[in-house]
Structure formats: C-alpha cells, structure tokens
C-alpha cells in the first residue's frame, strides 16, 4: 500500500513527475498551473534536483530542453498564454527528439481570458500548436489519482519515443482535491530513454538505421553532438536535401503513429449495449459519467467513451463506436473543437451532437442528461 494523501490535481502531477524520476523543472508561474511549480520548488532541492524560475515561458521551455539533453527528466507546467509562448520551442524539441513533459492546465480564453476558470479550448493547440508536421502525444487525465499515474506515463512515453509529451487537464481537475494513493517505488513502471552502446567517437545522434528511436546520449558524459532545429542528418548537422528531409519527417510521425496500440488509452463505460454514447474527457468526462449513471438508473441505454490519450486521437475506437450507436454526444468546454475529430472518425455512421460551454463553469450532468433524453 502506498502513501494515502488528500492532494490537488496539480500536486498529484508533481508527485507523478517525481515518481517518474524527474529531476529538473523550469517554468514561469501562471494560474491555474502554479501549484505544480510550487510543489516542485519545494521538493526538487530535497532530492538533489533543480528548480528554475525563468524570466518567461519561452525561456522556461528552452531550459527544459537543455535539462533533458543533459539526461534529466524535465518538466514544465503552464496555462493558455504560457502554452502559446512555449510552442516554438516545443516544435524544436519534437524535431530534435528531446524527451520532456509539458503540462497545460487549461483555463478559459483566448489571451488572458478566464485565469481562474476551467477550459478545454486548447485541445487542438495541443496537436497543432507548433508549426510544421510533427508528432503529438497528449494525455487527458480527469481524476487526481489519474493525474498522478498519467504523469508517470507521460514521462515513460516521452523517454521511450524521445518526444515531448503534453498533459492537458482543466482548472477544475487541477485545483480539486481527492484522496490518492502515491504508489510505492517499483509498483508503476518507470522507463529510461534508449542509451548508446557505442563509444563517443562512433556516436551518431540521429542514426535511424537500427530503429525509429535512435539512442540518446547525455551531454557532459563524453558524447558531443550537434543539436539544431534545421532538418538534419544522422550526425545532427543540417541537411537540406532530398530524400533525407522527407524520410526523417516521416520517421518522426511514425514513432507515434505506428505505436498507437501502446500510446492510446481510454475508458469505455457501459458501452456494450449503448444506443447513445458520450465522448468526453477531463471534467466534462466526469460530468458525463454522472449523467450516464443517472440515465441508466432510468433504463436509458447510454455509455461513455473517455479518452486518456487525446493525441494521437483514438481514431479506430471512435470509428468502431460510431458504427454501434445512434448518436455520439460531445460535451466540451470550448465552442467546438474535439467534436470535429469525433465527426471525422465517425464518417457519417451516426449523428454527432455537441454541448459547448465557455462561461467559466463546467458542463453539468443535468445538461448532458437532458441532451441524452432529447436524442433517445
């Protein structure tokens, strides 16, 4: 039995990071993510790690990349406006294949928006926020316990595939407190990045001849190599030629795409005989579960699909679901984002209806119950 605590979502995120072996945090405080930084600021020095408050979010993301290159598992946490600022360097980390974890505690907005209210309107930004074709992994926990375990998983995926991983949850889930069990060491798997077996003189940092994820050397351990945001060859130096650019970008996408079975995670709740399904994540997923329980008690056949991995999108699962139900209802704290992904994967096999709300309050179970009854 691990340690039982009453923790905030943001605190559980920090605990998850520490469990995964995170030793470096760089960030810039912003509501509603600040508790992640506060917790790491307190805990990292106690375990010999480093906490840095940078001058802004751009620098914080750059510092995280630097920390990760030296071998530290590295974390930053932010919200909307800060997440926008981090995008360019996140793209750099994707192209240079630097593992790191970025937490986006979603609030309302564009711009400064509603700092103390929940939002889910950055969810497409989690996929397409930085320019160019790029791999994207984004996890969407909804319970404090899940934030802990999904943060561990985020680090694991990041290390395994050498790519940034985003954790996106809303203000409500980030600030709420629930009882959680912090697992004892060894209970949850903790993954380390693939390391080179060759001597430094023979090391090629982006040599993909033996697999899609090249071994990664830590700086200051004798291996020296070039890291650039330009498309590059196996030695890390710029290459501006066909076919390397094309094949290398394909490989970056393939790292995530061909490993969907390992990355995509979801909860299916009472879907076996469901006529109506609700597709929802984060706090909206919690509302949906309460709603589904309520209508089930009245004999209505409804179920819930709750993604814990939103990127890559659970395409196959939603496609299958759309062939089995009459309607999929998509409640989200945005004016319509993830509903388009559900629609794309459903290919017209069932009706899709959204419930959208951006006033700083969550979508209530009553709103979802009413819609389920309407469409039955």
Q: Which is nearer to another protein, 139 or 172 (CB)?
A: 172
Q: How far is the CB of 174 from another protein (least distance, A)?
A: 10
296 binds another protein (CB under 8 A): no
Rounded Cα–Cα distance for residues 269 and 289 (Å): 8
Site residues for another protein, 113-172, by CB under 8 A, read 115-117, 172
Please state the closest distance from residue 184 (CB atom) to another protein, in A: 18
178 part of the interface to another protein, by CB under 8 A = yes
Q: Answer for the pair 60, 10: CB distance below 8 angstroms, yes or no.
A: no
Task: Write down the H helix ranges in 258-327.
Answer: 260-263, 282-296, 315-322
Q: Given the structure tokens 């209210």, which residue do they identify?
A: 117
Can residue 179 be called a binding residue for another protein (CB under 8 A)?
Answer: yes
Q: By CB under 8 A, is residue 81 in contact with another protein?
A: no
SS3 state of residue 346: helix
101 DSSP assignment: E
Q: Is 86 in the site for another protein (CB under 8 A)?
A: no
- Asked if residue 370 binds another protein (CB under 8 A), the reply is no
Q: Please identify, using beta-carbon distances, which residue of 191 and 292 lies nearer to another protein.
A: 292
Q: Which residue has the tokens 């999108």?
A: 313
Which 3 state secondary structure label does DSSP give 314? coil
Q: Which is nearer to another protein, 31 or 84 (CB)?
A: 31
Contact between 245 and 282 under an 8 Å Cβ cutoff? The reply is no
Question: Which range touches another protein (CB under 8 A), out of 41-49, 98-106, 225-233, 281-289?
Answer: 281-289
Q: Is 195 in the site for another protein (CB under 8 A)?
A: no
Q: Which is nearer to another protein, 80 or 164 (CB)?
A: 80
Q: Binding marks (x or -) toward another protein, 202..241, rule CB under 8 A?
A: ----------------------------------------
Q: Which of residues 20-79 bind another protein (CB under 8 A)?
A: 31
Asked if 289 is part of the footprint of another protein (rule: CB under 8 A), the reply reads yes
State the nearest-atom distance from the C-beta of 164 to another protein, in Å.
Answer: 29
Q: d(Cα 118, Cα 106) in Å, to the nearest integer?
A: 6
| Angstrom distance (rounded) from CA 155 to CA 167 | 10
Q: Which of 26, 61, 24 is nearest to 44 (CA)?
A: 24
Where do the H-state alpha helices sit in the chain?
9-20, 34-43, 57-69, 80-96, 125-128, 144-161, 171-175, 244-257, 260-263, 282-296, 315-322, 338-346, 365-375
CB of 22 or CB of 168, closer to another protein: 168
Token duo for residue 162: 């050498």
Hey, how many other C-beta atoms are within 10 angstroms of the C-beta on 6?
10
Cα–Cα dist 146/169, whole Å: 11
- Using the 8-state DSSP alphabet, how is residue 212 labeled? S
Measured from the CB atom, is 115 or 234 closer to another protein?
115
Neighbours of 348 (CB within 10 A): 8
Interface with another protein (CB under 8 A), residue from 245, 294, 296, 349: 294
5 is a site residue for another protein (CB under 8 A): yes
Are 17 and 84 contacting, i.e. CB atoms less than 8 angstroms apart? Answer: no
| Residue 254 interacts with another protein (CB under 8 A): yes or no | no
Q: Compute the least distance from the CB of residue 279 to another protein, in Å.
A: 16
- Stretch binding another protein (CB under 8 A), from 175-183, 228-236, 241-249, 258-266: 175-183
- Identity of the residue, 5 or 226, whose beta carbon is nearer to another protein in the bound complex: 5
Where along the sequence are the contacts to another protein (CB under 8 A)? Answer: 4-6, 31, 115-117, 172-173, 175-179, 283, 286-287, 289-290, 293-294, 362, 364-366
């Amino acid at each position: 039995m691990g340690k039982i605590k009453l923790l905030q979502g943001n605190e559980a995120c920090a605990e998850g990071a520490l469990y995964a072996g995170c030793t470096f945090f760089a960030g810039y405080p912003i509501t509603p993510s600040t508790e992640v930084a506060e917790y790491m600021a307190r805990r990292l020095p106690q375990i010999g790690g480093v906490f840095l408050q940078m001058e802004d979010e751009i620098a914080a993301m750059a510092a995280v990349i630097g920390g990760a290159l030296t071998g530290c598992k590295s974390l930053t946490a932010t919200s909307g406006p800060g997440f926008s600022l981090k995008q360019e360097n996140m793209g750099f980390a994707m192209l240079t294949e630097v593992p790191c974890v970025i937490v986006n505690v979603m609030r309302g907005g564009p711009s400064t928006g509603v700092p103390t209210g929940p939002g889910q309107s950055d969810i497409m930004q989690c996929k397409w926020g930085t320019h160019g074709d790029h791999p994207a992994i984004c996890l969407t926990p909804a319970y404090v316990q899940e934030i802990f375990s999904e943060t561990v998983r985020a680090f694991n995926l990041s290390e395994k595939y050498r790519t940034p991983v985003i954790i996106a949850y809303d203000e409500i889930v980030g600030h709420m407190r629930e009882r959680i069990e912090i697992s004892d060491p060894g209970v949850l798997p903790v993954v380390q990045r693939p390391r080179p077996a060759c001597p430094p003189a023979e090391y090629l940092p982006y040599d993909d001849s033996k697999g899609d994820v090249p071994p990664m050397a830590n700086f200051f351990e004798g291996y020296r190599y070039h890291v650039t945001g330009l498309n590059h060859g196996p030695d890390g130096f710029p290459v501006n030629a066909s076919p390397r650019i094309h094949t290398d970008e394909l490989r970056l996408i393939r790292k995530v795409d061909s490993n969907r079975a390992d990355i995509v995670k979801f909860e299916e709740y009472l879907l076996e005989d469901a006529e109506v399904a609700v597709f929802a994540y984060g706090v909206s997923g919690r509302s949906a579960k309460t709603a589904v329980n309520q209508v089930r008690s009245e004999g209505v056949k409804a179920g819930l699909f709750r993604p814990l991995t939103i990127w890559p999108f659970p395409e196959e699962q939603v496609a299958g679901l759309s062939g089995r139900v009459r309607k999929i209802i998509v409640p989200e704290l945005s004016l319509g984002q993830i509903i388009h992904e559900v629609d794309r994967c459903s290919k017209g096999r069932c009706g899709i209806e959204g419930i959208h709300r951006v006033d700083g309050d969550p979508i209530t179970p009553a709103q979802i119950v009413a819609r389920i009854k309407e469409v039955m």
